Amino acid sequence: MSIGTLLLTLFTGTFVGEDEQGNKYYRDKRRFRHGKEKRWVVYGGDVEASSVPAEWHGWLHHRTEALPGNEARQNKDWQKPHEANLTGTPKAYRPPGHMLKEGRRDRATGDYESWQPDQ
């Protein structure tokens, strides 16, 4: 957290909630431009915007005035739990044969023929 965010949070911030990743959400006690309040997040881990769940993202960007409830959301059967984007980190997905994951590919099955231009 930068010194500016720390001072803003200490002097004008009102804590409104926390998500499963440990991110804490605040609103400004004062009103800002056009009557909208300033809202921000203090990340619980790495400063990574993709770690903010959809319901909190909507609140941060004034898409809804309702705070996300502390009770568990009713997810559909097909929905997965929220995960931050892990691209560029050691936890990123790497397919079999990737250089950073053992570097060994499966043997070719022989069902592939390379294209040859007409001669």
Q: What is the pLDDT of residues 46-95, one digit of tens each?
A: 888 899 998 899 999 999 888 887 555 566 888 888 888 888 888 888 88
**Which SS3 state, helix, strand or coil, does residue 10 take?**
helix
Q: Which long-range contacts (CB under 8 A, 24 or more apart) does 10-14 make?
A: 13/40
Instruction: Decide if 33 contacts 48 (C-beta within 8 A).
Output: no
Question: Is 113 or 24 the better-scoring residue by pLDDT?
Answer: 24
Per-domain residue ranges for the chain? 1-72+82-102
**Is pLDDT of 104 > 70?**
yes
pTM over 0.85: no
